[in-house]
Amino acid sequence: MDVVDFVPQRDQFVYTFGGAAPAATIRPGTALRLWSEDAFNNAITSRSDVPSSKLDPRFLNPQTGPFYIEGAAPGDTLAVHIVELTPARSWGASATIPFFGGLTMTDRTSLLHEALPEAVWIYEIDSAAQTVGFQTRRGDFELALPLEPMLGTVGVAPAGSEVFSSLTPERFGGNMDTPEMKVGTTAYFNVNVDGAMFSLGDGHYRQGEGEACGTAVEGAMNSTVIVDLIKGGGPVWPRLENDSHWMIVGSSRPMEDSWRISQVQMIHWLSELFELETMDAYQLLTQISLVPVANVVDTNYSVVTKVSKDLLPQRSAFGGIHADLRERARSLM
Amino acid sequence: MDVVDFVPQRDQFVYTFGGAAPAATIRPGTALRLWSEDAFNNAITSRSDVPSSKLDPRFLNPQTGPFYIEGAAPGDTLAVHIVELTPARSWGASATIPFFGGLTMTDRTSLLHEALPEAVWIYEIDSAAQTVGFQTRRGDFELALPLEPMLGTVGVAPAGSEVFSSLTPERFGGNMDTPEMKVGTTAYFNVNVDGAMFSLGDGHYRQGEGEACGTAVEGAMNSTVIVDLIKGGGPVWPRLENDSHWMIVGSSRPMEDSWRISQVQMIHWLSELFELETMDAYQLLTQISLVPVANVVDTNYSVVTKVSKDLLPQRSAFGGIHADLRERARSLM
Amino acid sequence: MDVVDFVPQRDQFVYTFGGAAPAATIRPGTALRLWSEDAFNNAITSRSDVPSSKLDPRFLNPQTGPFYIEGAAPGDTLAVHIVELTPARSWGASATIPFFGGLTMTDRTSLLHEALPEAVWIYEIDSAAQTVGFQTRRGDFELALPLEPMLGTVGVAPAGSEVFSSLTPERFGGNMDTPEMKVGTTAYFNVNVDGAMFSLGDGHYRQGEGEACGTAVEGAMNSTVIVDLIKGGGPVWPRLENDSHWMIVGSSRPMEDSWRISQVQMIHWLSELFELETMDAYQLLTQISLVPVANVVDTNYSVVTKVSKDLLPQRSAFGGIHADLRERARSLM
Amino acid sequence: MDVVDFVPQRDQFVYTFGGAAPAATIRPGTALRLWSEDAFNNAITSRSDVPSSKLDPRFLNPQTGPFYIEGAAPGDTLAVHIVELTPARSWGASATIPFFGGLTMTDRTSLLHEALPEAVWIYEIDSAAQTVGFQTRRGDFELALPLEPMLGTVGVAPAGSEVFSSLTPERFGGNMDTPEMKVGTTAYFNVNVDGAMFSLGDGHYRQGEGEACGTAVEGAMNSTVIVDLIKGGGPVWPRLENDSHWMIVGSSRPMEDSWRISQVQMIHWLSELFELETMDAYQLLTQISLVPVANVVDTNYSVVTKVSKDLLPQRSAFGGIHADLRERARSLM
């Protein structure tokens, strides 16, 4: 297996999906060992930092990449398997930022209130216990929460020459902010442009569903992923698979539209896998669907539809590539 | 413990929250053994039934109750603990109904399409295996799914003399359609009127999150619940508790508003339980929240915010009544 | 023409659609001369009033009625023609109320902000100039705005034994808060229950589209309306007609659903009036529709679809009753 | 006054806001005489055309431009005054397109229906009568509707290196599809990048509010506009001004967010113009706002908040440039 290591220099950070020159060209099946900066671009390092004065809106959510995958053409499927996610710092940070987040007025849900207080929380990692430490700003409440690393942002370049901020979740993936994007998951994206132009970033040491305040436990991350290519079969919206579940991520507004997207796409997927007529698949999904919300804070809201493989006969999606990637991943660990 | 058995006659079914005379008056702490008809009012019994010609919109989702709880006054908390849920028939039914459901145009998401095909699926219960059998209408795909009984509809009378169809989820509970309303759960409702006027119905033998097509595996149910009263402390929106989680159910439209409600209420609850300042609780919830969607098909959409007790120091909500009800429930099983 | 005068006593005010005994029974074609209290129930009378301490949530938006119309049966059409609206006081009031309004967090768009400042504005009527006087609270900016009386709330009892607060706009009409509900307008409602149970209230001396802060220039009103009955033909959603326009009011959430409702219903109406196929009516409406927003503050948001009669061949809706009511109205002025 | 004529060649059409090289550089104050192709890229020319087979999604809504305005820097205000709009063809076209439009399921409001029928309507212009002719596809209903030319799409490059399809309405303007973008209107945009990069397109010979089916009477257009620059003062969202009204266009989803944006921005504008405190401006707007919906079909929905100058003391916005541009425009007519 080809293995490529890449630690971007600060001036190599990329802040968009689309519009960026490739960091490197790789062959399908390559393992990437990538370092990514945190979503704050390392501007938040202490609980005394004031987010609005530290954060530069032009330089948020830096991505590592993009990678040009040889042979990837529009309509193909890019498979990205997450082998390993390791915090690259001993602490993570979260913050409330004026007019950003799910429980504040924003530039869209535009109201007449003053901004909520801005503040920073620092989470120290306890490597032995595999926890991150929450500490209140007022009072002395402390809590050790399980370290559960995930990637907030994974995606490919969009179609139609569009270029989106890396803060956006869309059909091309991007800033979906779902805790399902963790070790053991294979993500499938439709290829929109030659080379696919894959990138990742926005490491989270842990995140609740919805990402209410807008920021998870953000941290620099060392990620090992295998990137492979399937000719054709590109899914309309991102699909995820791990050993136990099939998933779709829909991203739009209002949130019911995100849900509708993920449900309709899952109905199509079940129809393919089990040769079901659409209304039968609709009925079946109604009784077995799990729906963990991903984010209600980004430029689109993301909702996951999730189905347990245990409830269903065994099937292989995308030619069984997930099982194969799991196998190949072992050699990297 | 007082134990009251009640099997309503057909003419005793109630189709609203509010506006109905009590079926009986009970003392706080009473155990109710209740039979409830299915949401179709038993009009769907075969896969050859045509829902739109069988269903009478005036008589959908019949409730069993309401019960007048002695001493319950506005602002009090009604605690309802689900002890046992047993299917009262050997089969359940689900159906697609014209212009009803999450992936069809409706009377609200009003479009110019024709109705989707209407159809019925019958699920036979296998008591030994504790499963319900899914069978496609086209083709011969069959699947045994775990029997996971729950109540779609549990609630009290609304405030302000309003009367809502039993198809509505709201502050008073009602048709929330969350799979969390299962054995072992205690639900807390604010009392809005003297006597609280508690009722339940809409048994589901199983349901996926979102209840996409609009109907779960609907079935008549035998429910055992203990109904108790806490003076004061009525929650603004329904709270749920089981041995492992605290939960809030928000119901509104669009779906992000349902989510916002459930998140803000959970922040307030965490603040109370752990004496946290609001912004600290907001931060904490951001990293630990679970958000399983309940329904995206009813007159309001329902979203659950859920927090694992395991992640937090031990606390007792509502004076520890949940643990107490668990204890009392044992004598009934 | 029968003419009935009715000034309700304070204990005769009604706060719901549905659930109330009739104030009187009238024959179709009766003219009603009604006095209605303002939406604040006269609790706000000075700019030094503090809304949250003056207003009683149980007694907001008092309605005058309901009237039982002889012979009105479910499925019939109730036609209500507004003959005259005259302020019953020399001043009106508007207020910002905590957590109510379109540009504040609410109990639904639930966020973590503090309430916006609450305040009262008093508008003196200048009868000669036919204006209401706006005056800032801070500074000395004054403005005479045209007096343009309208009714915020007009409707009938809902179907299915439901009872809604008079603050709700729905299929049955209610608190639609559209400035189109003014002198010269005929409103058509589907009759849901025997007698229709018509009521009105919520006089506005003027209101902008959207009613942003949640309250118009609220004032007691003397209304003269003719109430007539057409057997059958009840519209799914309220229709309005004046000499120049046909209109539909849709009320739901999110706002695009209110718009969709009003557009689809107008397409059906145009199809009926001009014998158009649905897609042709869709095309035509696309090029001629006006869409003035009504309210974005109530329990449902209301959007009006409006079509100019001038653009279209002459047609009579509902058997030409609007022209007839205009004629009959002359004898009352 | 500098006058620049520009008729793009087919290979000069631009399909994005952002990401395109300038067609020309102009000085502030230049009058542009521009020809723009219709939104279908001239692929629809007959009522027998089948949209889904004629339209190429990569080449929809071609823009004319962009123009680099000398001296325009981020934070400045670009003022675009529409002097003249003349249809460049003798006919316009409208169409229903599968899964596009306001009353059909879409890729976002994703449901399980089949597509609505696709069809084309051709509107012949009667130059003498200044009308466009509507003709049903089924039956022989015909109607002459007033020719009311407007531009669906006017805007500048977005900030942050983003590149959006010309089908998108956003802060930078773009595909707002409001009938207010007509002769006599001055539009104000914040400059996001050096040179502003102004472009326009999407001529409509007429359009109803909401643009229900997704396409107006689309046609090639000859536009005369004066483009001027004000240093600083760039508005957060597009502002419009004509002789009678001030307006803001908000574009987002759900539609209440578009409305909230336009209302809050108008409150800020009124506060500036009349030195009002925010709550006073909120109150005032509540009583005088007009809210004509623009589009409910594009990637964002657009809502206009509109205030009549007649109701208010005379004020000059942006240094009175609108009156000045009206004056300058005369020399071009």
**What is the average pLDDT across C243-268?**
98
CA distance D71 to chain A (A): 22
Q: Are B27 and B70 found together in one domain? A: yes
- pLDDT tens readout for residues B249-292: 999 999 999 999 999 999 999 999 999 999 999 999 999 999 99
Residue A214 DSSP class: S
Q: Are C218 and C268 found together in one domain? A: no
CA distance D196 to chain C (A): 31
- Helix, strand, coil percentages (3-state) for chain C, rounded to 5, are 15, 40, 45
The parent domain of residue C222 ranges over 3-92+148-230
Peptide bond into D146 cis (omega under 30): no
Model pLDDT, residue B145: 98
Q: Dig out the tokens for A196 from the structure.
A: 């696919």
A128 touches chain C (CB under 8 A): no
Q: Are C81 and C177 found together in one domain? A: yes
Cβ pair D264, C265 in contact under 8 A = no
Residue tagged 């009377």 (tokens): B107
Model pLDDT, residue B10: 97
- pLDDT tens readout for residues B171-184: 999 999 999 999 99
Burial class for D43, CB neighbours closer than 10 Å (0-12, 13-18, 19+): middle
- A97 part of a folded domain: no
Model pLDDT, residue D60: 98
**What is the average pLDDT across B160-166?**
96
Q: Dig out the tokens for C211 from the structure.
A: 């009613």
Rg over alpha carbons for chain C, rounded to the nearest Å, is 19
Q: Are B85 and B200 found together in one domain? A: yes
Residue B160 has pLDDT above 90, yes or no: no
Cβ pair B73, B67 in contact under 8 A = no
Model pLDDT, residue B286: 98
pLDDT band at A192, cuts 50/70/90? very high
Q: Dig out the tokens for A134 from the structure.
A: 């929450």
Residue tagged 């994005």 (tokens): D16
Q: Are B78 and B204 found together in one domain? A: yes
C103 touches chain A (CB under 8 A): yes
Model pLDDT, residue B132: 98
- B177 part of a folded domain: yes
Residue C162 has pLDDT above 90, yes or no: yes
Q: Dig out the tokens for A265 from the structure.
A: 């796409």
CA distance B188 to D109: 34
Q: Dig out the tokens for D240 from the structure.
A: 């419009």
Q: Dig out the tokens for C220 from the structure.
A: 């007691």
Residue that finishes a domain, picked among C206, C230, C254: C230
Chosen for mutation from B112, B256, B262 (greatest number of chain C CBs closer than 10 Å) is: B112
**Counted domains in chain A:** 1
CA distance B146 to chain A (A): 8
- B203 part of a folded domain: yes
Residue in B206, B215, B203, B190 with CA at minimum distance from that of residue B295: B215
- D104 part of a folded domain: no
Cβ pair C301, C109 in contact under 8 A = no
Query: Three-class SS of residue B287?
Result: helix
Q: Are C205 and C247 found together in one domain? A: no
- The C-alpha torsion from D81 through D82 and D83 to D87, rounded to 10°, is 160
Residue C333 has pLDDT above 90, yes or no: no
Q: Are C162 and C304 found together in one domain? A: no
Residue D252 has pLDDT above 90, yes or no: yes
D116 touches chain B (CB under 8 A): yes
Cβ pair C331, C1 in contact under 8 A = yes
- String of b and e for A37-47 (b: at least 16 CB within 10 Å)? bbbbbbbbeee
Distances (CA, A) of D38 to C257, D65, D152, D220: 30, 14, 10, 4
Cβ pair B59, B41 in contact under 8 A = yes
- C109 part of a folded domain: no
**What is the average pLDDT across C31-49?**
98
- Does B58 sit within 8 Å of C160, measured CB to CB? yes
- Does A210 sit within 8 Å of B284, measured CB to CB? no
**φ, ψ for residue C58, nearest 5 deg:** -75, -20
Biggest alpha carbon–alpha carbon distance for chain A = 58
CA distance D96 to chain B (A): 12
B130 touches chain A (CB under 8 A): no
CA distance B144 to chain C (A): 38
CA distance A326 to D120: 51
Residue C175: other Cβ atoms inside 10 A: 30
Residue that finishes a domain, picked among C230, C263, C287: C230
Residue C252: other Cβ atoms inside 10 A: 27
A105 touches chain C (CB under 8 A): yes
- D266 part of a folded domain: yes
Model pLDDT, residue D333: 79
Q: Dig out the tokens for D226 from the structure.
A: 């004066």
Q: Are B300 and B252 found together in one domain? A: yes
Chain A, 243-302: which have a CB under 8 Å from a chain B CB? 253-256, 259-260, 263-264, 267, 274-277, 279-280, 282-293, 296, 301
Which residues in chain D are contacts of B104 at CB distance < 8 A? 111-113
Q: Are B180 and B72 found together in one domain? A: yes
Domain of B61, CATH number, reads 2.60.120.580
- pLDDT tens readout for residues A306-330: 999 999 999 999 999 999 999 999 9
Model pLDDT, residue A56: 96
- Does B163 sit within 8 Å of C18, measured CB to CB? yes
Residue that finishes a domain, picked among C196, C211, C230: C230
- pLDDT tens readout for residues C95-154: 999 999 999 999 999 999 999 999 999 999 999 999 999 999 999 999 999 999 999 999
Question: What is the rounded average pLDDT for all residues in chain D?
Answer: 98
- A99 part of a folded domain: no
- pLDDT tens readout for residues C279-290: 999 999 999 999
CA distance C59 to D58: 58
CA distance A332 to chain D (A): 36
Model pLDDT, residue C160: 87
Q: Count Cβ–Cβ pairs < 8 Å, chain A vs chain B.
A: 197
Q: Are B279 and B224 found together in one domain? A: no
Residue D280 has pLDDT above 90, yes or no: yes
CA distance D119 to A10: 53
In terms of DSSP bridges, do strands B221-230 and B173-174 run parallel, antiparallel, or are they unpaired?
unpaired
Model pLDDT, residue B333: 79
**What is the average pLDDT across B203-213?**
98
Which residues in chain C are contacts of D280 at CB distance < 8 A? 136-139, 141
- Partner chains of C (3+ C-beta pairs under 8 Å): A, B, D
Residue tagged 């869709």 (tokens): C282
Question: What is the rounded average pLDDT for all residues in chain B?
Answer: 98
**What is the average pLDDT across A77-89?**
98
Neighbouring-strand partners of residue C206: C217
Q: Dig out the tokens for B226 from the structure.
A: 């203990």
Domain of C325, CATH number, reads 3.10.28.20
- Does D292 sit within 8 Å of C290, measured CB to CB? yes
- Does A110 sit within 8 Å of C104, measured CB to CB? no
Residue A160 has pLDDT above 90, yes or no: no
Cβ pair C265, C237 in contact under 8 A = yes
Model pLDDT, residue D160: 87
- B112 part of a folded domain: no
pLDDT band at D71, cuts 50/70/90? very high
In terms of DSSP bridges, do strands A196-204 and C30-36 run parallel, antiparallel, or are they unpaired?
unpaired
Q: C28: which residues sit within 8 A by CB, 6+ positions away?
A: C69, C70, C71, C72, C227, C228, C229
Q: Are C72 and C203 found together in one domain? A: yes
CA distance A11 to A244: 39
Question: What is the rounded average pLDDT for all residues in chain A?
Answer: 98
- pLDDT tens readout for residues A121-155: 999 999 999 999 999 999 999 999 999 999 999 99
Residue in A252, A241, A242, A167 with CA at minimum distance from that of residue A201: A167
B110 touches chain D (CB under 8 A): yes
- Does D163 sit within 8 Å of A161, measured CB to CB? yes
- pLDDT tens readout for residues B74-112: 999 999 999 999 999 999 999 999 999 999 999 999 999
- pLDDT tens readout for residues A222-240: 999 999 999 999 999 999 9
CA distance A134 to C324: 73
Q: Are C314 and C168 found together in one domain? A: no
